[in-house]
Amino acid sequence: MSRVLIAVVVGLLSVGPALAGTDVAELLKDLKSGDQQVRLQAIDSLGEGGEASLEVLQALSEQLRDDSPMVRAHAAHALGRFGPSARPAIEALAPLIADPDARVRRMALRAWSHIRPGPEVSIPLLAKVLEKADPAARTHALAILAELGKPAVPALVKALKNNKAAYWACLVLAEIGPDAAEAVPALTELFQTAVKPEVRREAALALGAIGPAAATAVPALAKALEDKDAAVSCGAAFTLGRIGPEAKSAEPALTKCGESTDPFLQTVAAWALAKIEPRDEARKERAVALLSAALGSKNPRVRRLAMRGLVDLQPAPDSILSAIKNANISSKDDIVEELLVVASGLGKPAVPLLIESLRIDRVRPLAASLLGRMGPTAKEAVPTLADIAANDKSIAARCEALLALGAIGHDAPEAVQTAVSALNDPEEDIRYAACYALGKIGKPAAVAVPELKKMLADKDEFIALASAWALANIEPASAEIAQVSVPLLIRGLKSPEPGVRHEAAVALGCLGPLAKDAVPALKELARDQDEVIRDTAAEALKSIDR
């Protein structure tokens, strides 16, 4: 599981119109330049070519190990453009999923999805990432494995027999869910025989994710309710609830758990009984009451279970919001973040709670981000967000506040001056966020036009591009704005970041006929690998041609 042999593809792997051999040779030479911009242009040009020769793949693979995050990101993007023919480079790409730079991780993940190496290659390589990476990178690696879905299940079943890989295989099978039904016998065996409690717990949770199709495991799960390890017994109770009515034979054992002195087991057992007999309102009311009370527990595991259980039972939104308000949102465990995410799903009624959460330093960036996801619904948060954007000591909090103000858009005109001031901030992330906010606020941000025009000449090409984008959104009918913005936006259409390509196309569409010089580049973008970007390019072309 820890090693994989990738067949070496000899010769050219043609995927379309090829660059001339002399062009490739020059580009490969440019990869050794001391000028990073020259190297980036060479990487991008190689990715645009139709050939995926072994020499090109090896050269781009070397760039994946460069000290510069920008170089690594561009190299990953270039490899992704070759699609399946870049499979010989997949082993070099794998470590970038755990790269310390977020942009590099995004590009590596997208490249992986385009290359599609298959489960026999993905599983062993990603297993290495899972063993060494930080939690965030593990999440990305698991997401890739889960996306493989049912075809990955046979390989994962084999992985369950490997002590080092079994834990991670359980996590992926849980993500695949019902499509992993063929893994039930192997998971049941692992649940009964694994030495490590955490492995048994994850095996149980994987069975629960599979759901009713895991009914053959009910006897083993019911027996495990008496296990001395709380993680195993509670995991078994949770899984019985996920299996639902098919686990009816376990009701006596679960009822006995309801008398347990362990509040965690008692709570999950009440939830499971409600799931096994969903029409029993008395059971549901008892479970909701227990789960609501458990949100105030000093045990973070109990709070996490309570939150998830409440959402799963789907009581009235007011019941969930009331329970969350009664929880200790100033506590320091991760459950607070989850509680806020759940609350945000309730829409406008949760806005006051999220505004209150903005007062807590460690969750302020998340609370601002969640308010941003609500868009105009979170209008009442504008004054608080504007104050954070202007004065907070945390760069992350200020960025998220500006982005949220942008998402609120036209309903946040009082934040314009704050965003204009942020255009001169020494932190580039703040300046990007300020451009975004002003562009999304649109016409009410007209006062920002003079300052944004100055930024079009910024040495940072991304700042210049962001400024052009903002100007196009603020004054879409201005020929003067179009004249200076269109060249920069055309450059944005070739960015390795899908989000940048998308927004550049949107901005050009806003300019309409004034962006006619962008037609050739938009026609090329209409062949992008991303369907959403292709559609956006097509809409922009229609707008220009009107």
Q: What does 153-183 look like in DSSP terms, one character per residue?
A: HHHHHHHTTSTTTHHHHHHHHHHHGGGGGGG
Question: b or e along 180-219 (b: 16 or more beta carbons within 10 Å of the residue's beta carbon)?
Answer: beebbebbbebbeebeebebbbbbbbbbbbbbebbbebbe
Between the CA of residue 345 and those of 76, 198, 340, 521, what are the distances in Å? Answer: 34, 31, 9, 39
Please report the pLDDT score of residue 391 as a whole number. 95
Amino acid identity, position 350: A
Are the C-beta atoms of 142 and 530 separated by less than 8 Å? no
Q: How far apart are CA 255 and CA 282, in angstroms?
A: 14
Which has the closest alpha carbon to 126: 168, 71, 162?
Answer: 168
Contacting residues for 136 by C-beta, under 8 A, at least 6 apart? none
Tell me how far CA of residue 303 lies from CA of 239, 323, 326, 334, 362, in angstroms: 18, 11, 12, 10, 19
pLDDT at 329: 60
Cα distance between residue 528 and residue 536, in whole Å: 10
Q: Residues 367, 357: contact at Cβ < 8 Å?
A: yes
Looking at the DSSP bridge assignments, the partners of residue 51 are 14
Supply the pLDDT for residue 9.
22
The answer to whether the beta carbons of residues 314 and 271 sit under 8 Å apart is no
pLDDT score, position 138: 61
The pTM for the full model equals 0.57
Residue 51 phi, psi dihedral angles, 5° rounding: -100, 145
The topology under which CATH files domain 442-546 is: Leucine-rich Repeat Variant (1.25.10)
Q: What share of the chain is helix, strand, coil (3-state, %, to 5)?
A: 80, 0, 20
Query: Quick one: which of 390, 386, 401, 460 has its CA closest to 425?
Result: 390
Reported as half-sphere exposure (CB side, CA atoms, 13 A), residue 171 has a value of 19
Work out the number of other CB atoms within 10 angstroms of the CB of residue 347.
12
Going from the C-alpha of 116 to that of each of 5, 9, 110, the distances in angstroms are 16, 16, 10
Residue 8: the pLDDT is: 22
CATH number of this structure's domain 1-143: 1.25.10.10
Q: What's residue 327's pLDDT?
A: 67
- According to CATH, where is 1.25.10.10 located in the chain? 1-143, 442-546
Q: Report pLDDT for 12.
A: 23
Residues 6+ apart with CB under 8 A from 112: 80, 90, 93, 97, 122, 144
pLDDT of residue 141: 66
Return the pLDDT at 22: 54
Burial 84-110 (b: 16+ CB within 10 A, else e): ebbbbbbbbbbbbbbbeeebbbbbbbb
Q: Directed axis angle between helix 184-193 and helix 197-210, to 10°?
A: 150
Measuring CA to CA, which residue among 115, 16, 5 is closest to residue 60?
115
Separation between Cα atoms, residue 253 and residue 224, nearest integer Å: 10
Task: List average pLDDT for each run of 10 residues in the chain, which is 546 residues long.
Answer: 23 37 80 90 83 86 93 92 89 84 83 79 69 60 74 83 82 91 97 94 95 97 92 92 95 90 85 92 87 77 76 75 67 68 84 89 91 95 96 94 95 95 93 94 94 88 88 92 91 86 90 93 90 92 88
Q: Which amino acid is at 390?
A: A
Look at residue 278 and give its three-state secondary structure.
coil
